[in-house]
Structure 1
């Protein structure tokens, strides 16, 4: 078999790599799983599961026993490791059939999986464990490929499957995952001996083989055939989704509209819990949202459980003109408010109609997916990764609708079936086991000058506490280096970047647009960017003076002005923190320009706090002193100037500054970052207009 035989899937098997794993079926299972997970046409992020059955010696008796290794609860096939597998005694798992009390009691079987565990250090078994265990094959793949689900979700899916595969692929009608579905898979195989796989109605695909390679090839061949069948039918069907109803704005205009609208949408979606956003204008999204069939298909919702668990039962479609005037924020909010009210009511009615006596309490009724015809798709969730993955899953759902409509007619799950998955007590238990959110979860922060020194330390601390950040700097090389560092430490979903000179209004706007497009808006703005010049009054030039006031004072003003615009759009409050200086309060030699600019920053902070309190926007000040480590402020002769003013050498500055403090402490960037956490972390939510000194204790800098 070679890669050239496949057009719609990626053949990634490497004989040399696989040969290194020969004889280790579990290692080959992991290898196969990683290959399958690397191609999103085969399965979704975090979706699907794979397994193998091997002989091993029982650690208690030494006798050979059959063990099933299967992807455990959670995790992703593309990054699966052995620690992500569950290992179970196969005979014990299958013997659970003897005590099974029927479909009404199938959930009680999940706890019994723990009595079947072979490797006590392995992952907890998932709900799909019996689906693999009751089938006899050595290697099994259960995936959610769009091409297969398109057939599985089609009105005539069963007939199409039988005709397309000539009876070699079985069919099991929709049944939520669990013990009963495992029994139905085995019954289907018993009734159709010799089949190469089973299609699950509205759900996905099961395929298998006697070896890891046979299973891999079988999986690829079945999905390839499904995809080729869809492609053949697209041309026959005529215009996709009933043809195009409207045309998209050009790419630049789409991004402008999305950046302007995202904070307003984020505000609505954060009425219960602060959400992080994601925007995409992927061509597949535009094809769907601009079509004549959007109004018919969007309310139907998705079919595959993996899809709607992450996207909610259906999206909110905005009834805005693609080039709507978005500057009149209050008018726009008045226009959008009824749509959100109607969506929340729809979701509440869905819950009340479908709930059971023991159902968990209703969850957030706000939409996850918002479609803006002509512009793109917004998704909102508890963090960036979840919002991004929700968008990916809705694109999968679009692919499924497109394929099903091309070959037949798309059908979604009945509302009750969808509810029983979404509010499944086992799903609720999984949610309850999730770690408590970090103190800045759901928060978006823009820290000026965050590619180094104090700014980078603040950005790191924010990410460590759950926030996402917009890294920025006027030095592109420095910014790229910081981005690489954040990607290594935190991953791509923790940050975005923007080149930013705080004296340039256009770059400031571009940075906030990046925040809106990438994360939906901003919650915390830290005015940190700065520079310093230490000269006598005689040596100070007008150019020095203008530069200091442009960067420190005008820069803080312009960034705050842009921040307030986006914070007011969201209407959920926020924090502005200004990193000022002890020098705003303490007089010293050779410091006329810098010290007076810092004083201006300090009073500007007070003025902003007084003005913005009614909007729940808190403005506070941190006054550091002598933060030398990795700080740009000490470049350009400042250290030499301060050392000259104090009659000491540059090397003596850190000790000099520490000794003059009440605590005799050297101040580090991390100390300033910790102060920012103190302000934003929740314990000081009713404080604004305050100054926090982080200087080791300089009595002359005491405010009161």
Structure 2
């Protein structure tokens, strides 16, 4: 047996062999790695001693924390241990394995499937062959030890038919680069001197589990198995041994790629073009993103993600881009998220994008061509029972000299797709350095993409929310009404651009949203609506973060309450700068983006009851609000042809959390009505027809009513949310 081979049991339970023990001793001493991260904490692991499932989760989380080892949602891990059978009271061998879906980096016990090992292995007796692969998945449920288990994944037999107590199945870029190269099997044998087995590409399932076991039996003592074009299996007798074994195998793959990459061969055939400077790349990407988003949203609204990662630029600027990009990705985890191949734009890096209509017309043929290609791919490879064709638009779009755009149903999916395509770039880079990159045959790729089990997984996903795929910019959204609107929109499926001129408030709002909704639900930008350059920066941020804007809520404001004789010119100018000019400038910028998308949009203006009601000590504020209201009507009349709806929400006396009551406004209104500040909430509620206090959430609900889909044919409307103030009735 070669000295590097690793096996705890030599394919059956028993006493550890000397080769195994010697090798594990060497592994334990080697905790220094250059290409992967060693994250094992002895104290943390010691606290979990005796609980193999806890150690499995600990190991899984460490592996998932290093994207060089696996990618989001990819890979699976397992452990086998004895547990008390609740029916017989006797000890039984049970396997805990990552269930269907989920992510190793965030895996918890609830994400595991637990199965009786003997029952799972007994399925070999009834396995009818590859033609009935999908039928076997239903039988996994008959093997469940824990009835509260996560649904077992298609990879379950790959772990169950191997004898090792701890197993890692990962998709490291370095390993897949070897697995996806033309000479991958030979390289694997030479690099690991026979200590890593090889199994040619095959779709995951019970038969692949049988082939892994066969590979192990034919090569006793191996420490892992490379799956052609797919990934890596490694193992150990303990969680730590499996972890170290995985790190060492991936480290050796990465070091091998690095040595060959340094031998002078130009990466991807060398550079064909040069990138724009970073600031110019981002400016160009921001100008183009809404156009691309509109073209990608022909079937449903998509959310975008942009990256100009150096690895992306190296690939898209290269001589080999034209050859490699159409080949698509090799690993199923990659192309399930990125589609079979990307769309490469025929645009020069510094091309003039100022006239978006010209750009739209130039790019339309490329998108139509991609849709035809994808339709032909589907029709050529489909089976009688294949699911219906899915969205035919590209997910990954490459702009040489600028960067990569990804578009998907939500921000997380788009971001993850871009990360997976970078994984694919890493694989192509490594494979080309050591041999020649190979992708999966189109039929094999189709059979994975339109696998009935994958379709079933998609059908189990939650239905889209009313604002799924929508992007909202709410000015002044770090507090009060604005934050309530932004929160409501996120809860209904949108992503939002939080902004405020107060950086401290903005930071606090961002932390609140990250804690409640996660990093993909929002982005933040400092915005003073009176400053045109900050407005442009805000919409550039929206374009780069999400691809554009669908909903604009002009909410930012302030209030000044003074008698006519006390009003200063400075007061007057400030009110009109923020309320009227601010609404005008931000709307103007938003409409430009919406027109680039060509998918319509919504503009909501948070005005006030004071736009309609003449009250005391309110000359500047009331007249500015009236100007806002009429500006809304004018915009509605002008923008209908673009499918852009403009509507108004008129609040009154929203005191809770509102910044508008700072700066003397509350004192001014209390003085005008001859009451104290403390009496204001009750005073405002009492004077309404419904006698209700108005909260920020009430305004948020009114905004959602306009944009949630039920009022999609309404524009130029005013919705009062004031508890009922008869003087403010529009008609």
TM-score (structure 1 length as normaliser): 1.00
For residue 706 of structure 2, give the secondary structure of its aligned residue in structure 1. helix
Number of the residue aligned with 1:163: 190
Pick aligned residue for 1:352 from 379, 390, 393: 379
Q: Do structure 1's residue 200 and structure 2's residue 227 form an aligned pair?
A: yes
1:72 to partner: Cα distance: 0.4
The aligned counterpart of 1:173 is 200
- Number of the residue aligned with 1:675: 702
Aligned residue for 1:470, secondary structure, equals strand
**Is residue 2:515 matched to residue 1:495?**
no
**Which among 269, 272, 295 is matched to residue 296 of structure 2?**
269
Who is 1:334 aligned against?
361
- 1:700 matched to 2:730? The reply is no
Three-state SS of the structure 1 residue aligned to 2:263 is helix
1:627 aligns with 2:654: yes
Cα deviation for residue 460 of structure 1 reads 0.6
Is contact 1:2–1:11 with CA below 8 Å preserved after alignment? no
Corresponding residue for 2:536?
509
Residue matched to 1:147: 174
| Per-residue Cα deviation, 1:372-403 (whole angstroms, up to 9, x for no partner) | 00000000000000000000000000000000
2:482 alignment partner in structure 1: 455
Aligned to 2:471: 444
- In the TM superposition, residue 429 of structure 1 has moved relative to its aligned partner by 0.6
Distance 2:94 2:274 in 1: 56
Q: Mapping of 1:510-549 within 5 angstroms?
A: 510-549=537-576
Q: Which residue matches 1:282?
A: 309
Show structure 1 runs of 4+ deviating over 2 A.
1-5
Aligned partner of 1:233 in structure 2 is 260
1:24 CA displacement: 0.8
Cα offset, 1:632, TM superposition: 1.1
Kindly state the Cα deviation for residue 5 of structure 1 after the two structures are TM-superposed.
Answer: 2.3
Q: 1:125 aligns with which of 152, 164, 182?
A: 152
1:417 deviation in Å?
A: 0.3
Instruction: Supply the distance in 1 between the matched residues of 2:468 and 2:190 (Cα, whole angstroms).
Output: 50
The aligned counterpart of 1:55 is 82
Aligned equivalents of 1:3, 1:54: Cα separation in 2: 27
Select between 171-180 and 232-241 the one with higher mean Cα deviation: 232-241
Shift of 1:328: 1.2
- 2-side partners of 1:535 and 1:216: how far apart? 70
Give the secondary-structure state (helix, strand or coil) at the position aligned to 2:407.
Answer: strand
Spell out the pairing of 1:462-477 with structure 2 (5 A cutoff).
462-477=489-504
1:182-331 pair list within 5 angstroms: 182-236=209-263, 238-331=265-358
Cα offset for 1:441? 0.5
1:590-609 maps to which residues of 2 (within 5 A)? 590-609=617-636
Instruction: Note the C-alpha offset of 1:635.
Output: 0.7
Residue correspondence of structure 1 range 311-460 to structure 2 within 5 A: 311-460=338-487
Which consecutive unaligned segments of at least 5 residues does structure 2 have? Answer: 1-27
Q: 1:336 to 1:2 in 2, by over 3 A?
A: farther
Deviation at 1:121, TM superposition (A): 1.3
* Aligned partner of residue 364 in structure 1, secondary structure: coil
The residue number in structure 2 matching 1:612 is 639
Contact 1:537–1:592 (CA<8 Å) still a contact in 2?
A: yes
Asked if 1:648 is matched to 2:664, the reply is no
Partners of 2:356 and 2:667 lie apart in 1 by: 50
Structure 1 CA distance, aligned partners of 2:617 and 2:40? 68
Could you tell me which runs of 5 or more consecutive residues in structure 1 were left unpaired when the two chains were aligned. Answer: none
For 1:142 and 1:201, the matched residues in 2 are separated by: 13
Q: Tell me the distance in 2 between the aligned counterparts of 1:554 and 1:251.
A: 32
Matching residue of 1:45: 72
1:3 and 1:11 in contact (8 A); partners too: no
**2: distance between equivalents of 1:435 and 1:477?**
36
Mapping of residues 82-97 of structure 1, within 5 Å: 82-97=109-124
Give CA-to-partner distance per residue, 1:288-312, whole Å, 9 cap, x none.
0000000000000000000000000
Matched residue SS, 1:86: strand
For 1:96-107, list aligned pairs within 5 A.
96-107=123-134
Alpha-carbon distance in structure 2 between the residues aligned to 1:244 and 1:670: 54
Partner SS state of residue 123, structure 1: coil
For 1:565, the equivalent position in structure 2 comes to: 592
Contact 1:459-1:469 within 8 A present in 2 as well: yes
Determine the C-alpha separation between the residues in 2 that align with 1:627 and 1:293: 60
Q: C-alpha separation between the residues in 2 aligned to 1:127 and 1:409?
A: 30
Deviation string 1:239-275 (CA, Å, 9 cap, x unpaired) is 1000000110000000000000000000000000100
Contact 1:245–1:291 (8 Å) recurs in 2? yes
C-alpha contact 1:237 1:407 (8 A) present in aligned 2: no
- The structural deviation recorded for 1:237 is 5.0
Question: Given the two structures, how large is their TM-score scaled by the length of structure 2?
Answer: 0.96
Residue in 1 that maps onto 2:12? none
Question: Match of 2:5?
Answer: none
- The DSSP-based 3-state class of the residue aligned with 2:251 is helix
Match of 1:118, SS state, is coil
CA distance in structure 2 between the partners assigned to 1:140 and 1:500 by the alignment: 51
SS in 1 for 2:333: helix
Q: Secondary structure at the match of 2:386?
A: coil
Query: In the alignment, is residue 29 of structure 1 matched against residue 56 of structure 2?
Result: yes
How far the C-alpha of 1:2 sits from its partner, in A, is 6.0
Aligned residue pair count = 704
CA drift of 1:481 comes to 0.9
Candidates 45, 60, 64, aligned match of 2:91:
64
Shift of 1:236: 1.9
Residues 415-442 of structure 1: per-residue CA shift (max 9 Å, x gap): 0000000000000011011111111110
CA distance in structure 1 between the partners assigned to 2:610 and 2:197 by the alignment: 77
**Secondary structure of the corresponding residue to residue 359 of structure 2:** helix
* Other structure's SS at 1:451 match: coil
Distance 1:109 1:4, change over 3 A: closer
> What SS is found at the alignment partner of 2:635?
helix
Alpha-carbon separation, structure 1, partners of 2:30 and 2:414: 33
Deviations 1:571-599 (A, max 9, x none): 00110000000000000100010000000
